[in-house]
Structure 1
Amino acid sequence: MDFYQVAEIEISYKHQGDINIRPKVIKGLDAYNILINQWDANKLDLLEQSKIILLNRANRVLGICNLSTGGIAGTVVDPRLVFVTALKANASAIILAHNHPSGNLLPSAADKQITHRLKDAGKLLEIELLDSLIITSGGYYSIVEEMAYHKIRRGNSFSLEVQPPF
């Protein structure tokens, strides 16, 4: 047995078609519309699944990857699988999405935690996490859109100010 023999690894990526006609994601609604058309409607209200949208520098969709399928109350998002997929696709940015079969659009503590972990890991790899969406049959929740504003109390009045969500 030769202990010094190492497996050769080759990386390749082949996109199909003209990249300029692929959907462009500008806001959460764009991502939701792409995802809801790709989601298995028979599973949306049945069990939790997670997916990522892979984007190029112009926020054009390179593809969608099914990351995991869990049970009624949760699914596992492995950051290593997220970023190995993004690296293989030569993605510059990603959008994380998962569904809540319960129909609850609010993020759990675990949802917020994985979003922060992926945001931090993405900084190291220069693959930006643009958003994290919760999908239900009744709509979606965008962490970036919903958490970008916070209330500021000034005397007896409130105002909304932009705040980075991460």
Structure 2
Amino acid sequence: MKVREIEVSYSNQGNKKVTVKNSETVFEVALAHWDKNIIEYQEEVKLMLLNRANVILGIYDLSKGGVASCSVDLKIILSIALKGHASSIVLLHNHPSGKLEPSNNDKIITKKLKKACSYLDLVLLDHLIITKNSFYSFNDNNIL
């Protein structure tokens, strides 16, 4: 009996290795992967995967929502991180409103994700809320 096969691909051909040293680096890389025409109109969630040396393995487009919300499924986040052999992750999402202050839901999902990561020896390095001009880092603001 044949069952479905799950495929994960990774390629670093021609791409420069980027090491994350701070939240500014994460923001710069994330912004380069965001559609500038959508960032102010539609909420999106992305996941940055990193190895043990904090070198970025890649960015995964997790979900797209509407103008005020987006679905975030912890099981999908963890499965992508494990399949990508990540040692740490950064959750990224934009606020189309331009306001950088985290919502209560942003705080809840971050807390749940950090706890879930701890069971898998995976580190949640940060959660960034971004706009086209700036960002909010949960780590920098000591709420991670």
Q: TM-score, normalised by structure 1?
A: 0.80
User: Match of 1:142?
Assistant: 137
User: Match of 1:44?
Assistant: 39
Question: Structure 2 unaligned runs (5+)?
Answer: none
User: Match of 2:102?
Assistant: 107
- Give the alignment of 1:81-96 within 5 angstroms: 81-96=76-91
Please identify which structure carries the higher strand content: 1
Residue type of the partner of 1:146? N
Q: Which SS does the other structure have where 2:141 is aligned? A: helix
Residue from 118, 121, 127 that aligns with 1:123: 118
Cα offset, 1:87, TM superposition: 0.9
> Quick one: distance in 1 between partners of 2:7 and 2:35?
30
Given the superposition, is the C-alpha separation of residues 6 and 125 from structure 1 closer, same or farther in structure 2, using an over 3 Å criterion? Answer: farther
Higher relative contact order (CA 8 A, sep 6+): 2
Please identify which structure carries the higher helix content: 1
Question: Structure 1 unaligned runs (5+)?
Answer: 148-164
Q: Is 2:66 the partner of 1:71?
A: yes
- Count the aligned residue pairs: 144
Residues 52-87 of structure 1, C-alpha deviation per residue, up to 9 Å, x if partnerless? 100000000111001110011110110011011111
Given the superposition, is the C-alpha separation of residues 106 and 16 from structure 1 closer, same or farther in structure 2, using an over 3 Å criterion? Answer: same
> Quick one: distance in 2 between partners of 1:107 and 1:122?
20
Residue type of the partner of 2:82? L
Q: Is the 8 A contact 1:56 1:92 kept in 2?
A: yes
Cα offset, 1:137, TM superposition: 1.7
Bigger radius of gyration, 1 or 2?
1
Q: TM-score, normalised by structure 2?
A: 0.91
Cα offset, 1:15, TM superposition: 3.8
> Quick one: distance in 2 between partners of 1:10 and 1:76?
22
> Quick one: distance in 1 between partners of 2:46 and 2:69?
13
